[in-house]
Amino acid sequence: MKEVIATTAAPGAIGPYSQAIKAGNLLFCSGQIPVDPATGTVPEGIKAQTAQSLANVKAILAAAGASIDNVVKTTVFLADMSLFGEMNEVYAQNFNEPFPARSAVAVRELPKQVLVEIEVIAAL
């Protein structure tokens, strides 16, 4: 049984996908790019973009009755691996120990030419 999780507190899906899907006690959140859902704008710089991506993730988690502490796995997509250090500073400020498992990869391009996209899996 799959349940769609959606909120206007995060950017809406712009294609044939859901913001998140709850399946049993797991929540699979689609990758979040740093679009401010209120204005549709993207902040400048990797630190601000990481913070906005995580704010979007937190909004989706909240819509499912969860929080960042429920996250067990993250995947971070970066436009350039040279951005890893600055992204990691902001990332670390948003998670508590024990930290979730994480993959971080550089990709050729991200939607809207943003610098970062973050997806998560949470245990409910």
User: What are the tens digits of pLDDT across the range 69-79?
Assistant: 999 999 999 99
d(CA 11, CA 34): 9
Tell me the pLDDT band of 14, cut-offs 50, 70 and 90.
confident
Q: How far is CA 40 from CA 10, 31, 33, 36, 114, in A?
A: 10, 16, 11, 5, 13
For the chain, how long is the longest CA-to-CA vector? 41
* The pLDDT of residue 111: 96
Rounded mean pLDDT, 87-102? 98
pTM: 0.97
Superfamily of domain 2-123: RutC-like (3.30.1330.40)
Share of the chain above pLDDT 70, in %: 100
Tell me the pLDDT band of 42, cut-offs 50, 70 and 90.
very high
Locate the domains of the chain by residue range: 2-123
d(CA 49, CA 52): 5
